[in-house]
Amino acid sequence: MWYASTHKNKRYKRVSDQEGVVGGTSGKNNSTFKYVLMSAAAVGLFGFGYAAGNGSVQLNSVDSVASKLSEAVDDDDLATSGLQEIYDELRENYDGEISDEELLDGLKKGTVAAVGDSYTEFLNEEASAEFNAGLDGTFEGIGAELSQEDGFVMVVAPIKGTPADAAGVRPGDIIVEIDGESSTELTVFEAVQKIRGEKDTEVVLTMIRDRERVVIPIVRGVIDIPSVEHRIEDGVGIIEIGRFGSDTVKLVEDAAAEIVAADVTDVIVDVRNNPGGLLNAAVGVSGVWLDRGAVVLEEKRDGETVKSYKATGNTVFGPDVQTVVLINEGSASASEIVAGALKDNGRATLIGETSFGKGSVQQLIDLQSGGALKVTIARWFTPDGKNIDQEGIAPDQEVVLTDEDYEAERDPQLDAAKNSF
């Protein structure tokens, strides 16, 4: 839903992250803001990044860049801090063509990268489109969600039923080469751009897994990530949530209603390898179990609570319904919100493996000049006041799903959940 704001006549939209999810439009006269949950700089540097992104800096000449840069950050020394010299030396010595547009993109990226936060980055128009495509849930590629840890591109989770999943990609795999070229200097979205491609074409990923080098060729396909699937099996209602999209709350409510109508009171919610999605969807899904007014999560900035999200009263499962949430290291962001909210409110037991650990909030800004800025603006906390960033949520009952289990199509985590009732 849209939130009205008086801030420069801009509109805000709350989303979680899928290290990528939710489309938005960008007009000439206004920017669109979105809050993303995925994955503080000097005021001067951030100020320039914002000004450049809004088109107030044009790279017609290095003199105009330097002067605009100085104006944007209110720092007289910055214009003579080496930018002019670098530009002059490039023009004089570089053996090749120099694109002013690419230089400006690089300047934006470098400005944002200087804050040292892997979740804060400038996305050019192509990368921004990739981000929005991921939120929509349909695209051509391999179907693996990526993040960045310690400078390396890492697999958060292969999405169930996709080429990446079928090829054997695993959560935690570190991608070091894409089609034989090093990926160790790439951002997440640069890696995504190289990995995605037309269906029926092949990409070869070289990865580090458990200190071993693994080479996996993957044939790309059309990725249509199901938001929700449900069934009743062995007298247990099973709701699988693949992503948190705009349709997820309604689909979970419908699934819950069918389960209740069938007089089933044991429910499993499977968010394994679910990398996230819309924040409002996570709050709405939590509300299927929680009474109106129950806290789902809190956002804090500099230790102060800036917003508290509460269940809004769409409860379908009453207190007589026993619930287990299945999590693993590929359960991130919005998935962790739901798991944390149900656990802390005493409505669910968690089974599986410790979740990914994505406890920060990003604001995604569609820039007037094209592209987007994604910036960390807060941390989120579970109802009991825990920030899970870098730590994840530990299950109440740890059950490991090994590679051998996967190859043999065994699911000891699901079995443990069924046996817990």
Q: Which residues are catalytic?
A: 333, 344, 358
| Closest among 66, 53, 67, 102 to 373, alpha carbons compared | 53
Rg over alpha carbons for the chain, rounded to the nearest Å, is 23
- Do the beta carbons of residue 16 and residue 334 sit within 8 Å? yes
- Regarding beta strands 372-381 and 295-301, do their DSSP bridges make them parallel or antiparallel, or are they unpaired? antiparallel
Contacts 24+ apart (CB under 8 A), 74-81: 74/44, 74/47, 75/44, 78/44
d(CA 60, CA 108): 15
- List CB contacts of 306: < 8 A, sequence separation 6 or more: 299, 300, 378
| Closest among 340, 374, 379, 334 to 359, alpha carbons compared | 379
Q: What are 179's two structure tokens?
A: 């089609």
- Which DSSP category does 234 fall into? T
| Closest among 355, 359, 353, 351 to 393, alpha carbons compared | 355
If you write DSSP's letter for every residue of 19-77 in order, what string do you get?
SS-------SS--EEEEEE-----HHHHHHHHHHHTT----S-HHHHHHHHHHHHT-TT
Kindly report the number of other CB atoms within 10 A of residue 144's CB atom: 28
| Closest among 88, 108, 112, 84 to 98, alpha carbons compared | 88
d(CA 36, CA 276): 10
Q: What are 264's two structure tokens?
A: 């089933």
If you write DSSP's letter for every residue of 152-215 in order, what string do you get?
EEEEEEEPTTSHHHHHT--TTPEEEEETTEE-TT--HHHHHHHH---TT-EEEEEEEETTEEEE
Q: Is 139 exposed, middle or buried (0-12, 13-18, 19+ CB in 10 A)?
A: buried
Angle between helices 83-93 and 62-73 (to 10 degrees): 160
d(CA 46, CA 368): 17
SS3 label, residue 272: coil
